[in-house]
A and B are shown apart, each in its own frame.
Chain A
């Protein structure tokens, strides 16, 4: 009955109602995120361009001082400390992401070769450790790698580390902690990709006497690429901004960008410097996301990359 007299005004009234509906459903959440995330984010960006006042709080004359400090120019001239931290963050991200890929590929493949009723349990087994708190997991590694533990003694016996040092704090411990932390995030998307794998292509490659390496490279790798890209996004971006693991396992020589930023808000307070570091992290995040999207689209798997 309502449809008999559709007039322009009725339609526009409908549109108004729809708009009001949209506003009613979306506005609370959107407002929440804008007030409590976009606004603080904007404030953070602003602070990065202010100068450092008393007690580390930002003060007015706008300046690029904090970015100069971030690049290592201090009161005593240039020192490479911050740049080392930056390169260490990049390097640790690169190494740990690479290692995670190397471990996750066989695991994801192995799960798909097992019987179907076991697969959910196996996936759960991989994921469950990441449900425990990050601080607790890292604490577990501290217990394992401390001086005098079997692992440290083994490394000592093999001559990898000087006696009585223990495996932590060290850069090695940070890499290990990162790999441990992010492994599930790579296994899940890779598993999803392997599950959809067209096995006929692999068999064709084997029938044509391709070596396992070539069969992998030409038949398996392209098909699992969307999963791999999604995994890299899920691993590399949080790894670059990691705070807990380097703080607990790295010590002074294992510091990463996250620690440099956090330090500016506690001990050696300097908000603008910390904010500048955070901006650097944001830029890296968005470059990473953008690059993955581009690569994903070019390879035709664009929609399957989660983000």
Chain B
């Protein structure tokens, strides 16, 4: 008896928490279809804010920057992180404490400390040498820095999960190290590489603080544009662009669910 009331209470609490989690997102999506430009009352359904987006060059260029940043940084981080992940696995019997510390450093550092130290560093380098002007390049560099550890850890854990005798077998099968990499290593860690790439991509699109501090005047990403618009005073167009980003996340969530389902079967 008592168990059943407990279960019912928990179910209620679960739905309450879900409401709490999705309410802010739902409000943004709802008001993106608002006919008037009021942020407090919903007057009718219209697509005018979405139409306004298409004509807004700042938003389009911010979208381009976001994609460019996410793709470039993820690809670079994938290459570098993958190497580290394999190195950590192959040499796991050595004392690599310093490497572990180095890899965890970008993860544990508070965003803001990360962002301002990068910013100060880039500004001073630019002052001294003229290189690394704040812009897309500096943003890519800092994104790669925080993505490397995640890639390395994912690849490392995939290698650890493999049967060590596989490596011996591959050594016997394929004569050259290059062939071993192409025919054995890359195919076996492919799932890890895919999930590492998507994680890096999401981390990059999600990041605001580090991008904000390392960006230049021409390299605003969508989050930076939205931030600026909020600070200037809320414009309903933000609801539309934010709703589109929420939609992208929803699609990603459904994709990841169906992919994990398929893997189970």
Contacts and interface: CB of A to CB of B under 8 A. Distances in A.
Contacts of B40: 146-149
Nearest to B127: A57
Contacts of A296: none
A126 B15 CA distance: 11
A143 B27 contact: yes
Interface string A136-155: 11011111101111000000
A115 to B, nearest CB: 13
Interface stretch (B50-58, B115-123, B188-196): B115-123
Q: Interface residue tally of chain B, by bracket?
A: 35 or more
Contacts of B250: 128
Interface residues of A, number: 74
Nearest to B123: A57
A44 to B, nearest CB: 4
Given A133-B205, A143-B39, A241-B111, A128 B17 contact: no
A198 interface: no
Contact of B117 (A33, A41, A122): A41
Contact of B256 (A18, A124, A132, A136): A124
A285 B110 contact: yes
B253 interface: yes
Secondary structure dominating the interface of A: helix
Contact of B13 (A107, A120, A180): A107
Given A25-B84, A149-B40, A285-B110, A135 B10 contact: no
B103 interface: yes
Given A44-B117, A44-B120, A140-B27, A237 B110 contact: yes
Interface string A23-39: 01110111011101111
Contact of B112 (A36, A125, A143, A258): A258
Contact of B10 (A110, A143, A282): A110
A201 interface: no
Contacts of B202: 131
A265 B110 contact: no
Contacts of A47: 120
B62 to A, nearest CB: 12
A106 interface: yes
Interface string B25-57: 101100100000001100000000000000000
A180 B21 contact: yes
B124 interface: yes
* Most chain B CB within a 10 A radius of its CB, from A29, A43, A141: A29
A240 B99 CA distance: 26
A146 B40 CA distance: 8
Contacts of A282: 109-110, 113
B48 to A, nearest CB: 18
B142 interface: yes
B94 interface: yes
A244 B116 contact: no
Given A136-B28, A139-B28, A120 B257 contact: yes
Nearest to A42: B117
Given A32-B148, A103-B17, A134 B206 contact: yes
Interface in A92-107: 103, 106-107
A32 B145 contact: yes
A129 to B, nearest CB: 5
A36 B108 contact: no
Given A40-B118, A103-B17, A265 B213 contact: yes
B71 interface: no
B67 interface: no
A262 interface: yes
Given A33-B103, A128-B253, A43 B110 contact: no
A79 interface: no
B253 A240 contact: no
A106 B11 CA distance: 10
A248 B232 CA distance: 12
A120 B263 CA distance: 13
Nearest to A274: B116
B80 A28 contact: yes
19 contacts: A26-B88, A28-B80, A33-B103, A33-B105, A40-B121, A44-B117, A103-B17, A137-B25, A140-B242, A141-B24, A143-B239, A237-B110, A241-B112, A243-B111, A258-B110, A265-B116, A282-B110, A282-B113, A307-B104
Closest 10 CB pairs of A and B: A140-B24, A241-B110, A25-B87, A40-B121, A40-B117, A29-B84, A26-B87, A44-B117, A110-B10, A148-B40
Given A29-B81, A106-B10, A262-B112, 9 more contacts: A18-B91, A30-B102, A33-B103, A106-B14, A133-B226, A136-B226, A142-B230, A261-B112, A261-B116
